[in-house]
């Protein structure tokens, strides 16, 4: 790609001061450009827009020039650049179609006219004409794709300068961009433009959320330093070892992309791990797979996060290898590996059809013309089909996993495919969903289990005193609706469910020889991540959870049938064949926990838990770190963990504690009293365990015992010094 394009993708904005600057950008990738015709179009457009100003106070012609620069950075042909310079002349000036055709030819005149017609379409209208306008949009696109490319560049510059608009106009344009233009750019393979349009819209529609993410990024950089530079350097080092020549580029994901991931996963920023992305650009397809091997040898791959779009390309021509790996600090990073040709298609999509290389127009063998996709739609839907059917087909193509329906007020409601009027009602407001008694779709009464389709208008019928029915849980699709329905059903008969749940719990505990004490129930609720005992009992009474699951939360069946136990010589993966290892006494890591090794000359490797405070001492000695992990499978119960217990000073309590630990198939290897008072004892108990799950079960069983007032895992950072002396 050209230097101009690189500057655009990194900075997002290039400013030119004269027609000479614009021509210079074009000459970088197309030495054969018709500079005279571009200059003539520039002068004509500037003259036609003379005396016109944007809301920001700038001369209006700065906007067509900026649109032309965006397209020049995409290495578009002369006709597209000239169309950008003239795209508002027929609409907003005294220039006519005939005059533009006479000066610049029929092709450019038709392109300018096509952009003018697209500008006049009210694409965000929720009236019946929206469907008709969508048809016109795609019909115009199918005739010449460059019309849509100019319109997308026009919208991008308007979004970049949206602050000069009135507040209500900003919101309307941002919604239209998010719902129509950003997905359209993505469907055409112009992923960089989609991301920027989404983020600019996000900045308008939810500025507080975006600002919050930006602040957290700044805090993260202060805490961890320049992670991108560190990982990029590491990757270059690994590729050099493998004798692979490639470019490595890292970046933090866009705020909107992070926000969407937070919403989809229902996680806070601090719990998101894959917020950085890296691209490795190679010379050949074979090198792509060599790079993949080098990266997977150095970093641990995250299961389920590998996709090979080189052997199985996307429908828009996208090719790349995707993998996610976990680094030394536990941060996940996404890596995309592709060749230069593949990268051009991935970055610019359809614009790759106009690519120049070494000053010559070339055909990118990986580019797939999206015109085929648009033509297929327009061929399937001729003039005899209703506009609404066309709108539905288009949106099904653009949004394969969502449906978009309209409220009576014209608001667009986004729902997952298969959603029903019940989901629609709760999406508008919980109060509407609770009082729903029926629905009309496109003016006709329909059952509540009807599956909604794209473009339909939905009206919810409500009535006072109505409450959700039990059958709604199976009809609803969205989590929001299901949660609200279940909550309503529970609250309606909550007391009855609590009484029933209490009796079910009593019987279940007695069946295993235990008592359903208040503390035991509190411990079970905590283990099941339920806020309080009453809520757990209500769920038990309403059959949302089973009595068996409540009992197993404290006293699980520890019988293992996974096969033979793992040989201790191969319990840790990542060591050399002759390398000795031992567990660090300070943190006592057990299988199931993330680990790292620190080498000691002549003594092998000491294995620490990844969050061990003692690791701070070795931060400046990266050459001593070894990337390790536990072997998956059934480990032997020989991993000693020290538990810190406080128990009541009553007869027989210590015996019951030992019995409880034995019932969990765990062995006590040492016991040390560290504090004795008239009413309680505090002691350290060394327990031999299999893995982290085994440890959790032992601690949960002890926590449920009424004579245990506190229990915690004992860790002693002071014992880290032993690692160097042992």
pLDDT tens per residue, range 25-84 = 999 888 888 999 999 999 999 999 999 988 888 899 999 999 999 999 888 889 999 999
Calculate mean pLDDT across residues 485-512.
Answer: 79
Residue 586, CA atoms < 13 Å, CB-side half-sphere: 19
In tens, the pLDDT along 466-479 reads 888 878 888 888 77
Angle at 380 between CA 375 and CA 382, to 5 degrees: 95
Calculate mean pLDDT across residues 326-354.
Answer: 78
Calculate mean pLDDT across residues 308-324.
Answer: 82
Of the residues 24, 40, 46, 92, which is catalytic?
Answer: 92
Using only C-alpha atoms, the chain has a radius of gyration, in whole angstroms, of 32
In tens, the pLDDT along 151-187 reads 999 999 999 999 888 888 898 889 888 877 887 787 7
Place of tokens 């990024």: 217
Calculate mean pLDDT across residues 499-504.
Answer: 81
In tens, the pLDDT along 84-104 reads 999 999 888 888 889 999 999
Looking at per-residue confidence, does 260 or 368 come out higher?
260
Q: Which residues contact 346 (CB under 8 A, 6 or more apart)?
A: 189, 191, 318, 319, 320, 336, 338
CA distance 69 to 67: 5
Q: What is the CATH number of domain 3-205?
A: 1.10.3210.10
Calculate mean pLDDT across residues 439-449.
Answer: 90
Confidence (pLDDT) at 134: 59
Total residue count of the chain as it appears in this document: 726
> Hey, what are 45's tokens?
């457009």
Q: What is the CATH number of domain 571-726?
A: 3.30.70.260
Q: Which CATH architecture has domain 209-361?
A: 2-Layer Sandwich (3.30)
Average pLDDT of the chain to the nearest whole number? 80
Averaging pLDDT over each range in 280-284, 402-406, 660-664, which range is the top one? 280-284
Q: Is 92 a catalytic residue?
A: yes
In tens, the pLDDT along 389-440 reads 455 445 544 544 567 788 888 777 878 778 899 999 998 999 999 999 999 9
Cβ atoms of 344 and 281 closer than 8 Å? no
Of the residues 24, 91, 132, 369, which is catalytic?
Answer: 91
Q: Is 127 a catalytic residue?
A: no
Q: What is the CATH number of domain 405-490?
A: 3.10.20.30
CA distance 444 to 430: 23
In tens, the pLDDT along 601-621 reads 877 899 999 888 888 888 888
Cβ atoms of 413 and 428 closer than 8 Å? yes
List the domain boundaries for the chain. Answer: 3-205, 209-361, 405-490, 493-552, 571-726
Cβ atoms of 337 and 292 closer than 8 Å? yes
Pick the closest to residue 136 from 153, 123, 149 (CA basis): 123
Cβ atoms of 335 and 295 closer than 8 Å? yes
Identify the band that residue 208 occupies on the pLDDT scale cut at 50, 70 and 90: confident
List % helix, strand, coil for the chain (3-state, nearest 5): 50, 15, 35
Calculate mean pLDDT across residues 548-572.
Answer: 70
């Amino acid at each position: 790609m050209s230097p101009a394009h690189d500057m655009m993708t990194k900075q997002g904005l290039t400013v030119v001061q004269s027609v000479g600057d614009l021509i210079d950008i074009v000459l970088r990738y197309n030495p054969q450009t018709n500079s005279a015709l571009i200059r003539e179009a520039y002068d004509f457009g500037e003259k036609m827009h003379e005396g016109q100003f944007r809301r920001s106070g700038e001369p209006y012609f700065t906007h067509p020039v900026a649109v032309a620069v965006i397209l020049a950075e995409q290495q578009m042909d002369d006709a597209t650049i000239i169309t950008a310079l003239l795209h508002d002349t027929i609409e907003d000036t005294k220039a006519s179609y005939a005059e533009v055709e006479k000066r610049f030819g029929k092709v450019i005149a038709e392109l300018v006219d096509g952009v003018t017609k697209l500008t006049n379409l009210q694409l965000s209208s929720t009236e019946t004409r929206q469907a008709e306008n969508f048809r016109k949009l795609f019909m115009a696109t199918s005739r010449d794709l460059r019309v849509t490319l100019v319109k997308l560049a026009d919208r991008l510059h308007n979004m970049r300068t949206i602050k000069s608009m009135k507040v209500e106009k900003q919101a309307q344009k941002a919604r239209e961009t998010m719902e129509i233009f950003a997905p359209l750019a993505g469907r055409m393979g112009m992923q960089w433009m989609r991301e920027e349009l989404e983020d600019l819209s996000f900045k308008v529609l939810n500025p507080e959320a975006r600002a919050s993410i930006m602040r957290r990024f700044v805090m993260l950089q202060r805490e961890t330093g320049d992670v991108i530079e560190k990982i990029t350097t590491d990757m270059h080092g690994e590729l050099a070892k493998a004798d692979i020549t490639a470019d490595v580029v890292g970046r933090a994901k866009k705020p909107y992309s992070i926000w969407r991931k937070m919403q989809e996963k229902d996680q806070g920023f601090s719990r998101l791990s894959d917020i950085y992305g890296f691209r490795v650009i190679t010379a050949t397809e074979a090198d792509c797979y060599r790079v993949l091997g080098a990266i997977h040898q150095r970093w641990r791959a995250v299961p389920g996060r590998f996709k090979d779009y080189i052997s199985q390309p996307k429908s828009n021509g996208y090719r790349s290898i995707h993998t996610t790996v976990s680094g030394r600090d536990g941060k996940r990073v996404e890596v995309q590996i592709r060749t230069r040709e593949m990268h051009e298609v991935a970055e610019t999509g359809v614009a790759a059809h106009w690519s120049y290389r070494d000053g010559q127009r070339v055909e990118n063998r990986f580019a797939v013309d999206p015109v085929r996709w648009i033509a297929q739609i327009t061929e399937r839907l001729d003039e005899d089909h209703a506009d609404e059917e066309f709108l539905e087909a288009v949106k099904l193509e653009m949004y394969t996993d969502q449906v978009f329906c309209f409220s009576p007020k014209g608001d667009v409601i986004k729902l997952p495919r298969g959603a029903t009027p019940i989901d629609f009602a709760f999406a508008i407001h919980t109060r509407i969903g609770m009082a729903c008694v029926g629905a009309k779709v496109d003016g006709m009464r329909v059952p509540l289990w009807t599956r909604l389709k794209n473009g339909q208008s939905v009206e919810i019928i409500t009535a006072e005193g109505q409450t959700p029915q039990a059958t709604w849980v199976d009809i609803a699709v969205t989590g929001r609706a299901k949660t609200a329905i279940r909550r309503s059903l529970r609250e309606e008969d909550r007391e009855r469910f609590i009484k029933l749940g209490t009796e079910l719990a009593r019987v279940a505990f007695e069946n295993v020889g235990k008592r359903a004490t208040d503390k035991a129930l509190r411990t079970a609720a905590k283990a099941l991540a339920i806020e309080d005992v009453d809520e757990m009992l209500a769920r038990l009474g309403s059959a949302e959870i089973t009595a068996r699951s409540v009992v197993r939360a404290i006293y699980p069946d520890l019988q293992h049938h996974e096969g033979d136990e793992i040989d201790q010589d191969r319990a840790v993966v990542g060591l050399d064949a002759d390398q000795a290892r031992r567990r660090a006494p300070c943190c006592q890591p057990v299988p199931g926990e993330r680990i790292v090794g620190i080498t000691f000359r002549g003594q092998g490797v000491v294995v620490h838990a990844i969050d061990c405070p003692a690791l701070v001492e070795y931060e400046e000695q990266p050459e001593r770190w070894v990337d390790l992990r536990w072997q998956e499978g059934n480990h032997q119960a020989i991993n000693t963990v020290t538990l810190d217990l406080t128990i009541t000073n009553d007869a027989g309590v210590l015996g019951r504690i030992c019995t409880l630990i034995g019932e969990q198939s765990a062995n006590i290897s040492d016991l040390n009293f560290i504090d004795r008072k008239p009413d309680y004892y505090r002691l350290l108990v060394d327990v031999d365990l299999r893995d982290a799950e085994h440890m959790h079960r032992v601690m949960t069983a002890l926590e449920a015992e009424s004579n245990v007032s506190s229990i915690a895992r004992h860790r002693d950072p002071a014992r880290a010094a032993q690692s160097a002396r042992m």
